[in-house]
Amino acid sequence: MLKDVEHTLTSRVCCTGIGLHSGKPVNLVLRPAAAGTGILFVRSDLEPNVCFPARAEWVVDTLLATTLGSADVRLSTVEHLIAALRGMGVDNCTVEVSGPELPIMDGSAAPFVYLIQQAGLRSQRRMRRRLVVHRPIEVRDGNRWARVLPSRSFKISMTIDYPHPAIGRQSLQASSMPPAYFAREIAPARTFGFLKDVQALQTRGLARGGSLQNAIVVDDTRVLNREGLRFPDEFVRHKVLDLIGDLALLGLPLQAHVKAMRGGHALYQALVAEIRANPSCWTVEVPGEAAPELSERRARVPRLIPA
């Protein structure tokens, strides 16, 4: 039953990396947190420190990455760390960041998984709640779409389709997402971008920390990284990583079959918003408790509240 209770880190762990857009060093500290805390970000470079939870209502931008914050304080590129925490089964953690963006590391979630493994996990005296989908929910944007369907577990079916010889059409189906699978098959997949887009960003003073050491870069015909790809389908695997991070902003583990076609951060956050806007389609459940019956009429169900 240990998997049915919440978990936090056993000890504090930290690292230093480079911000993708600023190109400046960023210190990152992960600390254990009390049961029921959820994932809490702290801008440790500000006095007083500014805190905000990893929750969908705190998303302020989805251009290029997922950004949390308020009108005055922001924290960008959070999705890889949040995905690592969710993928490795960490429910409660305080994340201290010494700047406006998380370190990009190698462009994947593998370094964050390593940190979590070094810190270790410990169980907590609180049952892990789940958001269980009972009816389909879908969002569309032209030929791009994402949906959640009822399922006995968390599943993902993802397809991407780029008119590029190095990418093309790739699909991945994961019938489950245990921590070992996430760490081995999803976390190492790196973010990717097109050379012309990277150059355009750099002329605007962005992506100053971007390089072939922390992203897959493709020109008009090929992958420019000398070491090549970590997986033949690394591109779609990274899209799955992003999806896991964005869905984690629901604040609870999701029990559903998630399907997406040509997805990205904006589409994923639109799906999250649609889920939150339709509480008659899901319930918040605790293992061992009977789920309430749903009718065609709007059901009385628990509201989505912080984990």
- Active-site residues, by number, are 265
Contact status, residue 207 vs residue 123, Cβ threshold 8 Å: no
Query: ∠ CA(194), CA(200), CA(204), 5° rounding?
Result: 140
Q: Kind of pairing, strands 50-53 and 39-43?
A: antiparallel
Does residue 111 have a cis bond before it (omega within 30 degrees)? no
User: Quick one: DSSP state of residue 210?
Assistant: -
How far apart are alpha carbons 305 and 307 in whole angstroms? 6
Q: Name the nearest CA neighbour of 37 among 113, 122, 94.
A: 94
How far apart are alpha carbons 124 and 126 in whole angstroms? 6
Amino acid, single-letter form, for residue 154: F
User: Coil, strand, or helix at residue 247?
Assistant: helix
Contact status, residue 135 vs residue 280, Cβ threshold 8 Å: yes
